[in-house]
Chains A and B, each alone.
Chain A
Amino acid sequence: AQSVAQPEDQVNVAEGNPLTVKCTYSVSGNPYLFWYVQYPNRGLQFLLKYITGDNLVKGSYGFEAEFNKSQTSFHLKKPSALVSDSALYFCAVRTINAGNNRKLIWGLGTSLAVNP
């Protein structure tokens, strides 16, 4: 079965420090990988994606993520956290063999708290 795991329910980091939010996946075939962020009472906002090519992808708001095929991971990173980065982060995967359905398989989310 295809799945996405976000092993940490919550991550706490001090403002200005680097942050990492972890994601591992299990799919058949090559994956398309995504990170989304959800602020309170808001919808999900797209941050970045890995489709093919360079394993390090850069996205919105200074975030980046590294695709590691051997470890089946796609960790989200940011060199210097801001208080405004505090939110709920979701990792998602879509398989290339999904046919017409662009369904995303979602992790359960990681709550990031950046402390001033």
Chain B
Amino acid sequence: EAQVTQNPRYLITVTGKKLTVTCSQNMNHEYMSWYRQDPGLGLRQIYYSMNVEVTDKGDVPEGYKVSRKEKRNFPLILESPSPNQTSLYFCASSGGYEQYFGPGTRLTVT
């Protein structure tokens, strides 16, 4: 089944404790992206990647890092999470016009 997977689905952590949210797609898509979804603000792009080793900032990259060492994987790294990064995170991939989304990761930073 063609899909985008994210792990973990739910995470509660404390300020400053480094964490990684994994994202993997099995559709051989070159383009991948991370969004965060917040009430009243909608979805906003954090980072995107056009291909392996090619990444760039989206609209809200502060406090986040990404890497793209393999085509299928695009992990999101929070080096020192803060409470304002509490959000619902979505990974997406695209091989054409539409984007395919993972199930989301609900992150709470206390």
Contacts and interface: CB of A to CB of B under 8 A. Distances in A.
The answer to whether A and B come from one shared complex is yes
A101 interface: yes
B50 A100 contact: yes
A25 to B, nearest CB: 13
A102 B58 CA distance: 10
Contacts of B102: 43
A104 to B, nearest CB: 7
A19 to B, nearest CB: 22
A51 B101 contact: no
Contacts of B50: 100-101
B55 to A, nearest CB: 11
Contacts of A34: 97-98
Q: Contact residue range for chain A?
A: 20 to 34
A92 B58 CA distance: 16
Interface stretch (A10-18, A79-87, A106-114): A106-114
B98 A103 contact: no
A57 B97 CA distance: 14
A45 B4 CA distance: 11
Given A43-B104, A106-B42, A101 B56 contact: yes
A111 B96 CA distance: 28
Nearest to A100: B50
B48 A46 contact: no
Q: Which of B98, B100, B103 has the most CB of A within 10 A?
A: B98
20 contacts: A41-B103, A43-B90, A43-B104, A45-B101, A46-B99, A46-B100, A49-B98, A90-B42, A100-B56, A101-B48, A101-B56, A101-B58, A102-B31, A103-B33, A103-B45, A103-B58, A104-B43, A104-B45, A104-B99, A108-B41
Interface of A: 32, 34, 36, 41-46, 49, 51, 90, 94, 100-104, 106-109
